[in-house]
Copies of this chain bind each other. A is one copy, B any other.
Amino acid sequence: MRPKDQTKYNAIIEASLNLVKELGFTDISISKIAKQANISPATIYIHFRNREDLFTKLYIKIRTDLSTEILQGINDKMDIKQIFKSIWNNSFTYYLNHPDSIIYREKFEQTPMMENIDPKDFKLYNYVNNLFQRGIKEQIIKDLPIPLLTSFAFIPIITLLNFHFRGAINMDKTNIVEACEIAWNTIKISDSAQ
């Protein structure tokens, strides 16, 4: 992409995030996005086939960016607990710094467009799955279905940040450390050396 195209592309992304936050998916047309991004609808059609294509690609972009940022700094010398805690803290920080991305992700996942998404396409999803499977095999992590482990270990991040942004809780350093410890304890076997 030329730098000028990149600028326009970013404006489309920005406008879509803002509009979905304000209006949800049903009320947004390509022309509304174009207006908000201050470009012509034709420019949007250079990058995207239609509304659904734009929304789906934006969702994929969010999860791909998330994967890259979260897996940064994780290496094979770390043990399972260290890797889990890094992923947890990186996820928390990512969403703290990108509140519009959580809102977008949550709203998108409640639409039928979600049927075209395969979570296996995302590096982070596969990485966490493999980590949990290895942890189960090494008897560090509870031998339970992975969606059950995820529901307790990772999903509360979204809730905590929603509470944080609404002012119901202040997720300061102490609360983040406490929450990460609780998350780890939901999945680890209690009498484990970890």
Which residues of A approach B to under 8 Å, CB–CB?
23-27, 103, 106-107, 110, 142, 144-145, 147-148, 150-152, 155-156, 159-160, 163, 168-169, 175, 178-179, 182-183, 185-186
Contact = CB atoms under 8 A, between A and B. Distances in A.
26 contacts: A23-B26, A24-B24, A24-B25, A24-B26, A26-B26, A142-B178, A144-B175, A144-B178, A145-B169, A145-B175, A147-B160, A147-B169, A148-B175, A148-B178, A150-B159, A151-B159, A151-B179, A152-B156, A152-B179, A152-B186, A155-B155, A156-B156, A182-B186, A185-B185, A185-B186, A186-B186
Contacts of A178: 142, 144, 148
Q: Copy number of this protein in the oligomer?
A: 2
A107 B26 CA distance: 13
Contacts of A160: 147-148, 151
A147 B168 CA distance: 7
Contact of A152 (B23, B24, B147, B182): B182
A110 B110 CA distance: 11
Nearest to A157: B151
